Copies of this chain bind each other. A is one copy, B any other.
Amino acid sequence: MPIRRSKILVKWIYENQHKMQTLRRCSSTLRYKELEENVQALEHLAPPATEAALPTHQPRPDITPDVSFKYDDLKVALAAPYQLQRKPEAVDLGFGKYFTDHMLKIHYHRELGGWQKPEITPFENLTIHPAAKALHYAVQLFEGLKAYRGVDDKIRLFRPDLNMHRMNLAAKRSGLPMFDGDELIKCIKRLVQIDQEWVPHSETSTLYIRPTLIGTEPTFGIVAPESAMLFAILSPVSAYYKTNSDGAVSIYADPSVVRAFPGGVGNRKVGSNYGPTIEVTSHAAKLGHQQVLWLFGPNQELTEVGAMNIFLVYINENGEKQLSTPPLNGLILPGVTRRSILELASQWEDVTVREEVITMDRVIQLNKQGRLVEMFGAGTAVVITPISNIGYKETNINVPTMEQEHPVYQRLKDTLLAIQYGHIEHPYAKIIT
C-alpha cells in the first residue's frame, strides 16, 4: 500500500471509529480491504513517524551477549503428517489454550561452550530434571509478541527488536545467558513460516509467540545456572480479557498489596512478577473486578494494571487533552505497546503526552472535577483495554471512558491494529513472510 494511502487511512480510522467497531464485530474473517476502498479519496494527513525520528522513551544500556547461537546453525525436523493437529475454530481460541505443530529449542551448556545449535522440532513436552532451578527458584523469564496476518495476506511482527532487547535485560538480571536478539528473531521467523497456516485469517485474532528462557541446571544452589534452555512456542489467540457488557473492565485498587518494589525485578519480564499476583487477582475477581490496579508507596502511585501498563486521559491545567502514563521508575514493565502509544500520540497535535507520577488522590480529584476522561490498560496480549470502574476502599470510582464520542484509546487501538495488520506501512511492522 503506498504511503499516501496509508496516511489517509489513519485519518479515516480516526474519523470513522464507530463504523470500524461495527465492521470488526461483523465477522471474524473481516478484512480491512473494505475500509481501504473507502479511503481512496481522503485527504493528506501529517506524515507518519519514522523510527529514527521517534522520541526514545527507554534507555538502551550496553548489553554484551554471551557468544550467541546462530540462525545459520538451525536444524529443522518437521512433524510427520499424522502429527499435525486440526486447527481450532476462531470462537474457541481464548488466550494460550492451543499450540501449533512445531516449536523452537536452543540449549545452553556452559561446559560445552555455551549456546548450542537451535532446533525446530515437532511440538512436544519438555523433559526437565526435577531439581532444575527453573522449578524451584523461578530462574525463568519470557517474552510475548504476536504474528499478524495482514490485509495483504502477509505476516508481520511488531517491533520484535524491543522484545529481544527486554529479554536480554531479563536474562542478565536472572543470571541466565544472553544472546544476539537478531539471531533469535530469525529463528522465530522461520518457526512462524513453518506454522504459518496457524496465523489466523482474521483481524480479531493473532498468533501469539512466547519465547521463554529457563535455568535447567539440576542442583540446589541459589546461583546462576550452568545450563539453560530457550524455547519458543506459538499459540493462536483471541481476546485476553473478558470485558463487562460495556466493553470495558472494572479494576480493583488495594493499597495493601504490591506488585513490585525498588531494588526488585518489576521492570523485567520474569516469572517472579506474575505468580504472586494470582491470589490478589482472584480476590479482586470475587469482588467483581477483572483486574488489579497495582499501587505503590505512601502516595499510592499507579504502576500497572493486571499485566498491562496503565494510561489516563484527562483535561490538564491548560485545558488540553493529556495522555499520561507513569514513568519507567524500575517498578514498571517497559511495554512495547506502552512505548508505541507514547511515540504515536506524540505525533498528534490534539493530545499532550506525558510520563508522570499519577497518585490515587490525583485520579479521584480529576474525576470529581469532571476532568478525567479515559483510563485504559495496554499490552501486547490485550492491545488496549478500556477501564470504566475502579473499586477503591469500599467505593466505586466511575470513569467515563465508554461515554466519550471519539475516545483516545480507540484511536490508538485502531492505529496500532492498522499498523499491525498492514493497513498502514509503518516501520514498526516487519513483514516476515
> Are A136 and B279 in contact (CB-based, < 8 A)?
no
> Are A214 and B135 in contact (CB-based, < 8 A)?
yes
> Are B137 and A130 in contact (CB-based, < 8 A)?
no
Using A270-B275, A282-B175 as known contacts, say yes or no to A208 and B220 having CB atoms under 8 A apart. yes
Using A134-B135, A142-B136, A220-B235 as known contacts, say yes or no to A174 and B127 having CB atoms under 8 A apart. no
CB-based nearest B residue for A265: B276
Q: Which of A61-113 contact B (CB under 8 A)?
A: 94-97, 99, 103
CB-based nearest B residue for A139: B275
Using A131-B235, A136-B142 as known contacts, say yes or no to A210 and B214 having CB atoms under 8 A apart. no
> Are A128 and B125 in contact (CB-based, < 8 A)?
yes
CB-based nearest B residue for A132: B126
> Are B130 and A212 in contact (CB-based, < 8 A)?
yes
Interface residue? A274 (CB, 8 A) = yes
In the bound complex, residues from chain B placing their C-beta under 8 Å from that of A140 are 135-136, 138, 275
> Are A222 and B281 in contact (CB-based, < 8 A)?
yes
How many copies of the shown chain assemble into the complex?
2
A99 shortest CB reach to chain B, Å: 7
> Complex: how many Å from CA A138 to CA B139?
8
The stretch from A18-26, A254-262, A319-327 touching chain B is A254-262
Instruction: Name the contact of A279 in the complex, choosing from B172, B231, B235 (C-beta under 8 A).
Output: B172
Interface residue? A271 (CB, 8 A) = yes
> Complex: how many Å from CA A252 to CA B224?
18
Instruction: Name the contact of A258 in the complex, choosing from B210, B224, B233, B263 (C-beta under 8 A).
Output: B263
Interface residue? A307 (CB, 8 A) = yes
A146 shortest CB reach to chain B, Å: 12
> Complex: how many Å from CA A248 to CA B117?
43
A264 shortest CB reach to chain B, Å: 6
> Complex: how many Å from CA A173 to CA B283?
11
> Complex: how many Å from CA A275 to CA B94?
30
> Are A221 and B96 in contact (CB-based, < 8 A)?
yes
A341 shortest CB reach to chain B, Å: 22
Interface residue? A277 (CB, 8 A) = yes
Q: Which of A276-324 contact B (CB under 8 A)?
A: 276-279, 281-282, 306-307
> Are A131 and B99 in contact (CB-based, < 8 A)?
yes
Interface residue? A204 (CB, 8 A) = no
CB-based nearest B residue for A254: B263
A190 shortest CB reach to chain B, Å: 18
In the bound complex, residues from chain B placing their C-beta under 8 Å from that of A282 are 175, 223-224
Interface residue? A129 (CB, 8 A) = yes
In the bound complex, residues from chain B placing their C-beta under 8 Å from that of A137 are 271, 274-275, 278
> Are B233 and A131 in contact (CB-based, < 8 A)?
yes
> Are B131 and A210 in contact (CB-based, < 8 A)?
yes
Using A95-B221, A272-B276, A275-B270 as known contacts, say yes or no to A126 and B136 having CB atoms under 8 A apart. no
In the bound complex, residues from chain B placing their C-beta under 8 Å from that of A365 are none
Given A96-B131, A134-B134, 12 more pairs with CB closer than 8 A:
A94-B219, A99-B131, A123-B130, A127-B128, A136-B274, A139-B278, A172-B279, A174-B276, A175-B282, A223-B278, A223-B282, A258-B261
Q: Which 5 A-B pairs have the closest CB atoms?
A: A96-B220, A138-B271, A258-B263, A137-B274, A272-B272
